[in-house]
Amino acid sequence: MWLSLVVLVGLYYLLRWYRERQVVSHLQDKYVFITGCDTGFGNLLARQLDMKGMRVLAACLTEKGAKQLRVRTSERLETVTLDVTNTESIAAATQWVKEHVGERACLLEPFYLRSLPLIPSLEFSRLGLWGLVNNAGIIIPTAANEWLTKQDFVRVMEVNLLGVIEVTLSLLPLVRKARGRVVNVASILGRLSLCGGGYCISKYGVEAFSDSLRRDLFYFGVKVAIIEPGFFRTNILPLERFSQTLKNQWNQASSEVKETYGEKFLASYMKKIKSLDNMYSEDLSLVTNCMEHALTACYPRTRYSAGWDAKFFYIPMSYLPTFLVDAIISWNAPKPEKTL
């Protein structure tokens, strides 16, 4: 009995290994739109897909970031400036994508296959946008919740969640036409809330939005993947700026809040931030390889955990009982001076 079980499990993983290595055809004809390409994951993914011969449409927040990216890539890659918190900017970028995707020639799909949108082995060159990668994000301001205002929460959520939603809804008709892919960058902080502020809230929201989107688009043949990175060294969290912002939030807090938490709490919090410098992974390709697989594999995963800390610590911890997770997190967390 045990031998049969081992054989079945082995066959399952062998089949999974084989399926996950099947790559879609005509990659050189497929367009991918990526947000947040100035630096970090988006920048590396744009260069990575460009080297694969795909047609990358890279959205950068600044023209400086766009210019630097164009210098490092082929003439196939094209850039546009995009502020994901601005509806007019999103509308302009959407129109720009439509113009670049254009009315390309495609193979006629037999009418009797149109009712079978879920057969991944049947690849047709289609009109539309093959891939949308929602990568743009910010984390600052982050602090104890009582130190923040509503606007501090809104500022982060406008980029990380509402921006993702608006960009997706604007480009979804093009993705659906191609029966393509939507790849949303969440975080292990979308599984475990380790800090105050809008970041964890926004990433939990990305998880929920992605789940509902995947189920909505199931019958259209569109696949939705979620990337859940651990801690990586990117420009989303410059430690000096993070420390300065934390001091600013403390200075703006009420006298009651300062008295309750105390200066020792602030000092402990600052020390905790500095210790993060030793936790970051430098290898951003661990994340971009997951993104690439989600875009190019015939059978992409629903969720990708990127980084050893995500795989072996944070994701497993998210399945533990809540009281145990609370105990683990609070054990090494800063403690307020007044607790009554």
Query: Dihedral (C-alpha) 50, 54, 231, 235: value to the nearest 10 degrees?
Result: 50
Q: Which residue(s) pair with 281 in the sheet?
A: 232
Q: What is the pLDDT of residue 133?
A: 98
Catalytic residues: 199
pLDDT 10s digits, 306-319: 999 999 999 999 99
Reported confidence tier of residue 230, pLDDT bands at 50, 70, 90 = very high
Answer yes or no: is pLDDT of 266 > 90. Answer: no
The DSSP call for residue 108 is P
Mean pLDDT of 66-73: 96
268-296 pLDDT, tens digit each: 888 877 777 677 788 999 999 999 999 99
pLDDT tier for residue 50 given thresholds of 50, 70 and 90: very high
Q: Which pLDDT value is given to residue 48? A: 97
Query: Rounded mean pLDDT of 169-194?
Result: 96
Q: What is the pLDDT of residues 99-130, one digit of tens each?
A: 998 744 344 344 444 444 444 444 444 578 99
Residue 126 confidence (pLDDT): 55
Which domains occur in the chain, in start order?
Answer: 25-331 (3.40.50.720)
pLDDT at position 23 is: 84
The mean pLDDT value for 35-64 works out to 96
In angstroms, rounded to a whole number, what is the distance separating the alpha carbons of residues 118 and 137? 31
Q: Please name the amino acid found at residue 124.
A: F
Q: Average pLDDT in the 201-227 region?
A: 97
pLDDT range class, residue 338, cuts 50, 70, 90: low
> Edge to edge, what strands does the sheet with 131-134 contain?
78-81, 55-60, 31-34, 131-134, 181-185, 223-229, 303-306
Which residues touch 291 (CB under 8 Å, ≥6 apart)? 41, 45, 133, 135, 183, 185, 227, 304
CA distance 124 to 201: 39
Give the per-residue pLDDT at 237: 67
> Between 328 and 127, where is the model more confident?
328
Closest to 28 (Cα-Cα) out of 53, 57, 45 = 53
CA 313 centroid distance within chain: 19
Q: What does the pLDDT average to over 212-236?
A: 93
The pTM of the full predicted model, rounded to 2 decimals, is 0.87
